[in-house]
Amino acid sequence: MASLKVLEQLARKHGTPLFVVDHDELRKNYATFKKYLPRVQAYFAVKANPDPAIVKTLYKAGASFDVASMPEFRIVYEFIKSMRPKERQDWIWDKIIYANPIKANETLKELDQYKALVTYDNSEEIKKIKQYAPHSGLCLRLRVSNTGAMVELSSKFGAKAGEAVDLILEADKAGLVVEGLSFHVGSQTTNFDNFVQAINVAAEVYKEAKDRGYTKMNLLDIGGGFPAPYDPTVKPFRELAKKINTELDRLFPKNIQILAEPGRFMVATAGTAVSKIIGKAVRDGKLCYYIDDGVYHTFSGIIFDHCHYHPKAFKKGPTEICTVFGPTCDALDVVSLAESLPSKLQRGDLLYSENIGAYGNASSTWFNGFPPAKVVHINQ
């Protein structure tokens, strides 16, 4: 995170609300991921923060990209196309995976021209891909345990292990090529055993597929879920990486390409929100601060992502437990019901919230007519 002095200077220059992205932090997070998972190619999950400047920095650091919609695909495609000879498209296999298992017909039609790698998890999707994107490579998404994840995904996506090879053979019979397997252990997974169990499930499916005559798979996508250090209870990334490396080396030969889809891990600590106090009141004996950012904007992760972001004051002083409200007229717009803040803050004073780079401003709206925070990039 940038220093408080820099954040305050940026707020005075650009106004508030402000969303500050530190590109040194992005590069550091990518380097950490590669240091502890050297065998794994990181496909940044663009949905975590689709800002083109973030895509550019991570691309230059060495990242590939996980996209889940055509707008996300175009953000990556247009940037990388500008960096490489326009007549070449073979780089898509190295740089983009379309990791949304359910795709509209129109999406598949557009994807087909790129011969992209796409995920699937059911028979209906095989029929759609065969009809609308037959040149795609396929990656079967498995259903795995999401126990302990902040955001559970297994009820929405993933084929059961018992039906996995049948779906691989069904795709093969349709003339499609299944390149490998994928899974997702759930967002912000602090239960590291989820990864261990999922890698073992994938290894069993690989073995069954080979035993039943399918030998074309050569990749494993271990998905996302790598936790951001929101608080001290989150164990160090190196501990998770050690478990993952042990299982990958034990169960998958070196010729199997390993992918991952880190999103939150890459961008959470790179974003800081700066807001201004626009009102102050005492309600039922409790001090309430009103700020010019809220859950319809940078703090949307409170609603959509089950996150808690803690506003902090630039000024010091005796504190008390306060409520922090966003600027809209909706009672849902509550940033925190119990935040320890100085009691003598005034209108115009600034607050900041750390580790808010993932999903927050990516889900900002114009609800009630209030615009999203202005985005400022530093250390690009």
* Helix, strand, coil percent values for the chain (each to nearest 5): 35, 25, 40
- In the structure encoding, which two tokens stand for residue 74, read together? 């175009």
Query: How many CA atoms does the CB half-sphere of 230 hold within 13 Å?
Result: 19
Q: What's the rounded Cα separation, in Å, for the pair 325 and 165?
A: 51
* 288 carries an active-site annotation: no
- Specify the DSSP element, H or E, that contains 64: strand 64-67
From 288, 307, 322, 329, active-site residue: 329
From residue 60, alpha-carbon distances to 37, 64, 95, 344 in Å are 18, 10, 12, 45
CB 356 within 8 Å of CB 379: no
DSSP string, 195-247: HHHHHHHHHHHHHHHHHTT-----EEE--S-PPP-SSTTSPPHHHHHHHHHHH
Q: What's the rounded Cα separation, in Å, for the pair 147 and 157?
A: 15
CB 293 within 8 Å of CB 273: yes
| Region of residue 223 (phi > 0: left; psi between -120 and 50: alpha; otherwise: beta) | left
- In the structure encoding, which two tokens stand for residue 348, read together? 């115009």
DSSP string, 343-363: TT--TT-EEEE-S-TTTTGGG
**Considering only CA atoms, which of 189, 168, 166 is closest in space to residue 120?**
168
Alpha helices per DSSP H over 212-338: 237-251, 264-267, 301-304
Q: What's the rounded Cα separation, in Å, for the pair 288 and 324?
A: 6
- Specify the DSSP element, H or E, that contains 313: strand 312-313
157 burial via Cβ count (<10 Å: 0-12, 13-18, 19+): buried
Q: What's the rounded Cα separation, in Å, for the pair 174 and 179?
A: 14
Active site residues: 329
